[in-house]
Amino acid sequence: MGEVRKLQKKLRQIENLEIKVSLTPEERFKISTKAELRSRLAELQLQLSGPQQTLGIVGDGKKEKMKRQVEDAPGALPSQTPPASKILKGEEESKAQATPAPTARQRETGGGAEIGRQQERTELAKVSDHLRDVSGGCPESDKEQQLRQEEAEFTSLKASWEKAKFRLRLLEGHNDIVTCVVAVDNLVVSGSRDTTVKVWHVPTATEHKNLGGHTGGVTCLSAPPPEYCKRLAWSLSLSDKERFILSGSADCYVKIWALSIGQCVKSIYTFNAVTALCFVPEEDGYIVTGSDGGKVQAWSWHTFEHCQSINAHQEAVTSIQSQGPLVFSGSAEGGVSVWENQCSDRDPLRLLHHWSGQVTGCRGGPGGRLTLSPRGDRVFLAYGQAWLKILHWRTGTTSRLTNHSSITGVTDCVHQTGGLLIGSCYDLANGASTLNLFSLPQCRYLASLTWPDAPRILCFAAWTTGSGDHRWVSGGRDLIVWEQLPSSGKQRGDVTVKRDSQLDSCFLESEEDTEDDEETDGTHTHTHTHTHTAISQFFRSSFTDSCLMTNRGIADYTIVLILDDAC
């Protein structure tokens, strides 16, 4: 395994070089050795794959066991931490909402799905009978009924995604990799290492505008909400329907573009290479930028004046996202900071929490690339490994979700749309690229999407049409628009929908139950069946209800489920 890990590390370094904003001749030479390293790694994998070891399972040869202990409900924000009064509604409300199917036309499920639902109902019924025996024959609780309903909804959702069809359309025009994408109405806006920002008309898949003006690679984009665009349009004597786009670049500028006229209406010089930015729609609005030196800065949308500058991270800020009044920043060394917008003209950002790479487990180091996507009390993190990390930003606890069944898989970006969590995955060994879909808020695996010669996906955006169909755009070596097709139609889709059996058997695991990331340098994949997953989740929830009904605390009990290879 020693040489395998060395090759993995070299390939990962090369892949990180390929997506840098600029390359030196020495770096270009290193990139030219990728094919040779990939071939050698494939040979070693064939030698290592056998009865004693399989790809996607990392261990020390001992019998794999999994222990689970009932966790206390997440506590409130510590008293010393100021509350974020306007934060999005909590996870409890999210769990109460049914996860929508891809489209209304895809809600019908076939006979095979119905058989699967019947099997899972039978399995859960057995557990329910056992719980009633233990609790003295208590009737089924509302929680148990809710779990049954959620399981049925998930089974239906999974079946609908197994029949999903997409048409792919290539948007040609950039001369280098696409680093960032956003969607605005029927337009897609992309930024590239070739220094340009391009606007595309989605219905016709044609280039609408070419916005040239940056002198360095474009690294990030953001689209202010329409109400904030109206204010700026009024001050510039433009139509109140004008939409604006923010672009950040290695040339140290943030540019604001008016899409209808295709012109830059404002430039902000930041004194640092801009590596991430977002728009914060609070009060008069703020632009928050991150630099290659780890600095986070705030700029007024009303006056475009500099409001605040903070040395927030040790390495480059690679991702910034807003959620209500909160701003989340992630850096190359794996650290994550959570800020609250105080809606003041000076120093609008107040630090709520900072979690280092040692806490998040995202110890990428210089040249690393962390992307994040917040949801309530959780932040989903992608940082170039075979899994997604989930940080509970209030407490600093983490868990992880397997996103690739191979030890050579890497995750580049993570995105949420509706009730879906979408993670890109790329195999360093063979160059295969897929998108994995998980249901929210439970983070249960639904399906994987791929197509022949799929390129590595570095950025992603999503929206839905008026009829509820999905429209996506992915960027990297290629810029591709995804158009969802009716599942009942005769038109054949360009995407292959498949299921990874190893991902299908995985579920969220806390960091206490996993090995250290740097030691494994691969995927810690559970080989237990989906049945065991459903039973363990059902048993936990039902046991919690029993504790509440008997006025005894969960802390009084310890449940240990041991599932070994014999299962």
CA distances from 248 to 191, 218, 219, 220, 277 (A): 9, 6, 6, 5, 7
* Strand 480-485, strand 470-476: pairing: antiparallel
Residue 397, class by beta-carbon neighbours within 10 Å (0-12 exposed, 13-18 middle, 19+ buried)? middle
Q: Which residues contact 413 (CB under 8 A, 6 or more apart)?
A: 371, 382, 423, 424, 457, 458, 459, 460
Helix (H, G, I), strand (E, B) or coil at 133: helix
pLDDT of residue 30: 77
- Among 53, 256, 245, smallest CA distance to 45 is for 53
Residue 226: other Cβ atoms inside 10 A: 15
Mean pLDDT in each 10-residue stretch from start to end of the chain (567 residues)?
75 70 73 77 68 35 34 36 43 46 43 47 48 50 86 92 94 95 94 96 92 95 95 92 96 96 95 96 93 95 94 95 95 95 87 95 74 96 92 95 88 93 91 94 94 94 88 95 88 91 74 46 35 36 36 35 35
Cβ atoms 404, 523 nearer than 8 A: yes
- As a whole number of angstroms, the distance between CA 325 and CA 340 comes to 6
Q: CA-based Rg of the chain, rounded to a whole angstrom?
A: 24
pLDDT of residue 105: 41
Residue 283, class by beta-carbon neighbours within 10 Å (0-12 exposed, 13-18 middle, 19+ buried)? middle
Q: Which residues contact 134 (CB under 8 A, 6 or more apart)?
A: 546
Q: Can you give the residue ranges of every domain in the chain?
A: 2-48, 54-171+403-567
> Which ranges of 429-565 does DSSP label H, i.e. alpha helix?
501-504, 517-520, 530-549
Structure tokens at 182: 């956003």
- Among 145, 285, 311, 156, smallest CA distance to 228 is for 285
The one-character DSSP state at 513 is G
pLDDT of residue 79: 35
pLDDT of residue 457: 96
What are the backbone angles phi and psi of residue 280, rounded to the nearest 5°? Answer: -110, 110
Residue with tokens 């995985």: 506
pLDDT of residue 285: 93
- As a whole number of angstroms, the distance between CA 85 and CA 496 comes to 44
- Among 434, 415, 464, smallest CA distance to 181 is for 415
- Among 397, 427, 400, 399, smallest CA distance to 411 is for 427
Task: Report the 3 state secondary structure along 373-390.
Answer: EEECCEEEEECCCCEEEE
The b/e string for 348-366 (b: 16+ C-beta within 10 A; e otherwise) is: bbeebbbbbbebbbbbbee
State the pTM of this model: 0.72
